[in-house]
Structure 1
Amino acid sequence: MLDPTGRGRDTESAELFARGPATPVDILGVHAWAVADPVLLEELLKDPRISKDGPQHWPAFAEVVSNWPLALWVTARNMFTAHGADHRRLRRLVGAAFTARQVAALGERIEELTAALLDEVALTGPGVAVDLRERLAHPLPIQVIGRLLGLPESLRDRFRRTVDRVFDTTLTPQESAANAAAFYSMLDELIAAKRERPGDDMTSRLITVRDTEGDGGALTEEELRDTLLLVVSAGYETTVNLIDNAVALLLTHPEQLDLVRSGEAGWDDVVEEALRREAPVAHLPLRYAVEDIALPGGVVIRRGEAILASYAAAGRHPVRYGDSGAVFDVTRPVKDHLAFGHGPHFCLGAPLARLEARTALRALFERFPRLALLPGAELEPVESLISNGHRSLPVLLGGGAEGV
């Protein structure tokens, strides 16, 4: 039974390692096969016999979603939950915003946003703790996504609070349903505003596709709403956790930060090793077997059974990393990981997340070279079996007690 608070993640990972390539787990009352072995997971993520379309390939779908706190994760109709031709169609519409050229064009703006946020952080009084998750890791991605989607300032904080609750796996089914309703209400508000006053943003472009071609064309109204839901959620929370985890890892492993400062490793190395060591998404619901799938050791995932990608455990699994999986090493020669997925559903926003994290880390440690964790601080996990980050990241800008 997976811990919805996220506090038992290390113990869960060790148990997944011990139980073999695929392990039956309970996810808030739903049964699935958790796959943590990165070799097997990589194969399954690109296997056409594995679908993400619950209504089509999960017999338990109708019964489960009526009273499951994570229903939104399997009911939304976008490229995240699509399979085959539908997935390719929806991914193509969104992909235009995440080409290498489009992402590179955001570089200067991300640097400006990062500098402005650090200017605000620098106003903190001597000896006063700063929560870097709240002051840097949170606002930077939501501002970048806000720019991509054309989110008005009035909606950004509301979207952030709602997305946080989408990833909160301690909510009751009723609380989760109410949050989903609030999310859709904001999406409808955004769509209405962009229909009235379109701009140079992804929301306006998707609306144009929808309104030009209608239900018989490239995008339905439901898919329009749920595609925006996906971009806001996936483009925000995962990058927050990446920045948060990378900063925490460097501050708790100062010898690794020294390697970066000496030039023996670069910020790209930090980002990739942080992604491997602390995947921003611990477990990602859900996929489904389209037919019986035989696994090593005689295990068979039966047609219609659910599959859970356990990315956090996969990033440390001894089958690929031996005894060093838990070691944070920015000089690790091979940093292969599955933190952004693999195969047809590989995360479109991966280059943007990497750019944001690299920019934020470089600027942060250049601006505050004596940055240190608040003495005695305990880094509590966010309350989620999906999201892998900290509830807060308290630091002192001057480098601890002797530096203030």
Structure 2
Amino acid sequence: MEDRPTATTVPKESRVNRPTAPLVLDPAGTDRHAEHRLLRAQGPAARVDVLGVTAWSVTDPVLLKKLLTSPDVSKDARAHWPEFEQAVQTWPLALWVAVNNMFTAYGADHRRLRRMVAPAFGARRVSLLRDTVEAIVTGLLDELAALPPGEAADLREQLAYPLPIAVIGHLLGLPEDRRGEFRSVVDGVFDTTLTPEQAAANAVRAYEILGQLIATKRAVPGDDMISLLIAARDEEGDGSALSDTELADTLFLMISAGYETTVNVIDQAVTALLTHPEQLGHVRAGRSSWSDVVEETLRHESAVKHLPMRFALADIHLPDGRTIAKGEAILASYAAANRHPDWHGPDADAFDVTRVTKDHLAFGHGVHFCLGAPLARLEVAAALEALFDRFPALELEVPADELVPVASLISNGHRTLPVRLGPSA
């Protein structure tokens, strides 16, 4: 059994006086940290309204780890969520539970689908990408250095976005002229302020682009992951290959997950270092590494705040006496769990690259742990080290409290990250 520190900042009585109605999560994520504190105050889990769907937001890290590894919890909405048919008609986040890929698969199907993709993100394959990642970073910093002196740069738009898109494009074989289209539809998937009609239209557009991509790669295959998956689909007849639907949905997962979260980690790491210069000082003095910065950023500002959805296959009894009933939805609230004072003590809200224990759930836990975690870590560390070496006088263009969060209860980043670069070293 895991040891659990007893330090907590939540008054005991606040765990008892819970609201009778579900807490409505802010679609725009305007004040995420206040919302996370409110959720934690309800105990290990809180009933929440996620754009009209009721779920249990789990913020206690011990409980969350248990549920993420429990055979009594599934991601297969079709099989295990009684509300599925209605939700896919009206819920803006329907695509998150309706796709057919390893993100929503359960049991043997999940193992089969993950096995098809895993080789692309193995340790050897990722290590071979290091030179490519560093070359892309250098090119992007060269473009920043070429800006007129004194002109503000938007590091989210000019570094955080193009780096992971270029890397995942290289890995998968995504043509450069199609990357802007995919970025647009993926942004729509993470935008939780869209109406159901807008979200549905965005999904239609996504699959139109995917269909065109698959047709192009099938006609003219290359030495890339997309072509390999298509070939496996077309050639294997033993039932282990991807179906047409699984192929499209798997490609969409790899493209979207391959860059959106990495964008946010770069964004949040730069923001944290520029607002906590003493932490940057630890790195420059050799007291901490860039890997420490990456891990503390993942803990302190998880790239994904809440990840929809999981479903109870049986009644789940919570430590405080309540029950998540069979068929009810479960929301993994990673960002709130990562700052839980029972896990990281009374200073859990502090950004501290010297923190001894930087454990987090930013990449998930259990069988659905993110396959792309090693690649994301490589990209973020490479970008940060090169950026701060190249522009040692880098500073924010606006106060940190004026940075506007992206319109999402899922994604955790800023709409823009304006900076003054200073002289290029």
Aligned: 1:31 with 2:54: yes
Residues 398 and 418 in structure 2, CA contact (< 8 A), matched pair in contact too: no
DSSP-derived class of the 1:298 partner: coil
Matched AA of 1:43:
K
Q: What do the CA deviations read for 1:67-89 (whole angstroms, capped 9, x no partner)?
A: 11100000000000000000000
The residue that corresponds to 1:46 in the other structure is 69
Aligned: 1:261 with 2:284: yes
Instruction: Give the C-alpha shift of residue 8 in structure 1.
Output: 2.4
Aligned: 1:117 with 2:150: no
The residue that corresponds to 2:4 in the other structure is none
C-alpha separation in 1, matches of 2:352 and 2:407: 27
Q: Residues 196 and 296 of structure 1: is their aligned pair in 2 closer, same or farther, counting only changes over 3 Å?
A: same
Q: Counterparts in 2 of 1:66-77, with a 5 A limit?
A: 66-77=89-100
Instruction: Give the C-alpha shift of residue 218 in structure 1.
Output: 1.9
The residue that corresponds to 1:315 in the other structure is 338
Residues 391 and 421 in structure 2, CA contact (< 8 A), matched pair in contact too: yes
Aligned: 1:222 with 2:271: no
Structure 1 residues not aligned, in runs of 5+: none
Q: Residues 375 and 220 of structure 1: is their aligned pair in 2 closer, same or farther, counting only changes over 3 Å?
A: closer
The residue that corresponds to 1:182 in the other structure is 205
Q: Counterparts in 2 of 1:4-403, with a 5 A limit?
A: 4-214=27-237, 216-376=239-399, 378-398=402-422
C-alpha separation in 1, matches of 2:398 and 2:311: 46
The TM-score, its normalising length taken from structure 1, stands at: 0.98
Instruction: Give the C-alpha shift of residue 108 in structure 1.
Output: 0.1
Residues 46 and 344 in structure 1, CA contact (< 8 A), matched pair in contact too: yes
Residues 312 and 328 in structure 2, CA contact (< 8 A), matched pair in contact too: yes
Residues 214 and 220 in structure 1, CA contact (< 8 A), matched pair in contact too: no
C-alpha separation in 2, matches of 1:282 and 1:14: 13
Residues 32 and 305 in structure 1, CA contact (< 8 A), matched pair in contact too: yes
Instruction: Give the C-alpha shift of residue 213 in structure 1.
Output: 2.1
How many matched pairs? Answer: 400
Instruction: Give the C-alpha shift of residue 64 in structure 1.
Output: 1.0
DSSP-derived class of the 1:282 partner: coil
C-alpha separation in 2, matches of 1:73 and 1:343: 19
DSSP-derived class of the 2:345 partner: helix
DSSP-derived class of the 2:46 partner: strand
DSSP-derived class of the 2:309 partner: strand
C-alpha separation in 1, matches of 2:248 and 2:171: 15
C-alpha separation in 1, matches of 2:110 and 2:242: 12
Question: What percent identity do the matched residue pairs reach?
Answer: 63
Instruction: Give the C-alpha shift of residue 175 in structure 1.
Output: 0.5
Instruction: Give the C-alpha shift of residue 214 in structure 1.
Output: 4.8
Matched AA of 1:398:
G
Aligned-residue CA RMSD (Å): 1.1
Residues 77 and 222 in structure 1, CA contact (< 8 A), matched pair in contact too: yes
Residues 242 and 275 in structure 1, CA contact (< 8 A), matched pair in contact too: yes
Matched AA of 1:345:
H
C-alpha separation in 2, matches of 1:392 and 1:343: 33
DSSP-derived class of the 1:308 partner: strand
Q: What do the CA deviations read for 1:154-203 (whole angstroms, capped 9, x no partner)?
A: 10111111111110000001100111111111111111111011111111
C-alpha separation in 1, matches of 2:233 and 2:202: 26
Matched AA of 1:238:
T
Structure 2 residues not aligned, in runs of 5+: 1-23
DSSP-derived class of the 1:66 partner: helix
Instruction: Give the C-alpha shift of residue 216 in structure 1.
Output: 3.4
C-alpha separation in 2, matches of 1:267 and 1:254: 14
Residues 215 and 221 in structure 1, CA contact (< 8 A), matched pair in contact too: no
DSSP-derived class of the 1:324 partner: coil
DSSP-derived class of the 1:4 partner: coil
